[in-house]
Amino acid sequence: MRHLRHLEWLYRLGYTFQGNLSQYIYPPLRTRDAIRLVELLPGGHDKPLQCRLDVANLADTPKYEALSYCWGDHIQTREINLNEKPFSVTTNLHSALSKLRYADRTPVIGMVWYELVLVW
């Protein structure tokens, strides 16, 4: 099973990306133990960040780690591709994902959970 990474946002802003959220449709969480995960896909440093959104069940005991970071300025954002659709994230999250990505392979732990994209 592919390793998982758990990336937790420490600060919640329900209004930050309302326009962004309104145009993105999330896969449903069908059980209380389900969570949404984002797979960080390989890519060169000069390429846009590509991610894939999926659902995992905690009953399957997925492996993950927590990465805490400072939210930063929620006004200044960068764009990633989430399931081949543009999606805005904070500059700090973009920077963290950029540093975790490899050009030629999925990171050792390739799935992330982060609140803004996955809870809404």
Task: State the pLDDT at residue 50.
Answer: 92
Cβ partners under 8 Å of residue 81, min gap 6: 48, 49, 50, 51, 87
Determine the pLDDT at residue 56.
Answer: 84
* pLDDT < 50 positions in the chain: 1-19, 21-22, 116-120
Return the pLDDT at 46: 87
- What are the tens digits of pLDDT across the range 14-37? 333 444 544 566 778 889 888 887
Q: What is the pLDDT of residue 110?
A: 58
Where along the chain do its domains lie?
A: 6-119
pLDDT given for residue 7 in this prediction: 31
